[in-house]
Structure 1
């Protein structure tokens, strides 16, 4: 067995933490560390050869906001290199957009606004994907998940679209060892409460909209959160499998 290495978790905002992803990594005994690389044009990111896995989280900025956040360019380079090397990669929301752009896809700024609990439709490939199939175990053809985004991306060339919605045609895609999720499976009740109390997240929402999101999540999370643990457990298992 090769020596243990770190799973790198790149965060862009304190409240956009890995949540259920972190618990899945912990449950498999995987070491991980969180870093923020946004504002340093030459951030101290590890070489791809040192990675067991790579997770890139969401954030309020855009995937090409390099002028305000020069570290994003380094994140995109690392995402492309990790995917090319076969490292298990997971991009969530902004992280998915960074992954897509790193692989040559187009970013659509401000097209695809979705906030709150709403369904996604899994494609045939999504239903067969080893990480996404648990979303349908309750016999719901279009699982209801948490959305919180305004930008959208095309699928990179050579990728497979795994999920879509009427507003956002690419809700999830796979490209080799990399999985991109536009929606937020990592969020549970306590983390959502933190989001709803964070002005950057909820400042543009009415009190009624905040209450509706909280109520919808309370109804859905008892089923969704256990399935999210299975999804991210499969990601952790992919890391262990590659390690050998």
Structure 2
């Protein structure tokens, strides 16, 4: 049977892709279309509401670096229109920050560059959501930016270093600051290409590799369960739910 739904995925670098979450999308009968946002065409011709699901991945830039990366302005505008239409969106790291910006919240540098596998603790609301799957499981973190919780959203998780690690709008929009998608292979690629950054933070690459050996398998299992449950709960109505809280 051919896939019946389309997931458009905004990618900001070749090595920051869907990772272990791609198979979850395929299992839920999605066809995956990557859009390389820094390519020559950028977001040209994309209808903000057309795809069944929009996924916005991470990147090395900040959501506020619109002068250096003008396409970020286009992404924020696309997200603003899609969120206003109540169409399903999933954002990871930079994607979560762009969602926050589209919802009117500031995005800014945090107090630390968080790199490694760290606990992300669901809130009470998070424990009643797909975020419950990551409770007690160290998740991959690699970010130094953060954001204020957007109005009209529900905070689902925080960490020791950052209070806003995940938020949602009803059951059709989910943003996570951590990296649920990262496979062991992706982690090694990131680590090998960013050794100077890692050492500048006083971290040892081999220590991070030991973390990966200890936590990666459980993290990927928790991530897949989280994403699968969220996808399963997406509303069938093309316009999304019209509930209020």
Q: How does 1:32-71 map to 2 (within 5 A)?
A: 32-38=32-38, 43-71=43-71
Secondary structure of 1:46's aligned partner:
coil
Q: Contact 1:8–1:51 (CA<8 Å) still a contact in 2?
A: yes
Describe the shift of the 1:192–1:242 C-alpha distance in structure 2 as closer, same or farther (beyond 3 A).
farther
Say which is worse superposed, 218-227 or 109-118, in terms of deviation.
109-118
Q: 1:13 to 1:150 in 2, by over 3 A?
A: same
CA positional deviation for 1:32: 1.4
Question: 2:30 maps to which residue?
Answer: 30
Alignment of 1:46-125 (within 5 A): 46-125=46-125
The structure-2 alpha-carbon separation of the partners of 1:123 and 1:205, relative to structure 1 and needing over 3 Å to count, comes to same
Higher mean Cα deviation, 161-170 or 147-156? Answer: 161-170
Q: Distance in 2 between matches of 1:226 and 1:122?
A: 17
Structure 1 runs (4+) greater than 3 angstroms displaced? 38-42, 238-244
- Secondary structure (helix, strand or coil) at the match of 2:217 reads helix
* 1:161-240 equivalence runs, <5 A: 161-176=155-170, 177-198=172-193, 201-206=194-199, 209-239=204-234
Measured in 2, the distance between the counterparts of 1:239 and 1:31 equals: 16
Uncovered stretches (5+) of structure 1, i.e. residues with no partner: none
Structure 2 CA distance for partners of 1:75 and 1:115, relative to 1, 3 Å: same
Q: TM-score, structure 2 length as denominator?
A: 0.87
8 Å contact 1:38–1:70 — kept in the other structure?
Answer: no
CA 1:222 to 1:37, structure 2 compared with 1: closer, same or farther past 3 Å? closer
Report if aligned partners of 2:57, 2:91 keep a CA contact under 8 Å in 1: yes
Q: How far did residue 228 of structure 1 move? A: 1.1
What is the TM-score when the length of structure 1 is the normalising length?
0.87
Query: CA 1:77/1:238 → structure 2, altered by over 3 Å: closer, same or farther?
Result: farther
CA contact (8 A) 1:7 1:53 kept: yes
Structure 1 residues 173 and 54, CA gap change in structure 2 (3 angstroms): same
Cα displacement (A) at 1:96: 0.5
Decide which structure has greater helix share: 1
- Could you tell me which of 126, 149, 154 is aligned with 1:155? 149
CA distance 1:240–1:218, change in 2 (3 Å): farther
- Taking only aligned residues, the RMSD between alpha carbons, in angstroms, comes to 2.3
CA apart distance, 1:70: 0.7
C-alpha separation in 1, matches of 2:177 and 2:112: 11
CA contact (8 A) 1:41 1:71 kept: no
For the residues of structure 2 that align with 1:87 and 1:72, how far apart are their CA atoms? 20
CA contact (8 A) 1:7 1:32 kept: yes
Provide the aligned length of Structure 1 versus Structure 2. 234
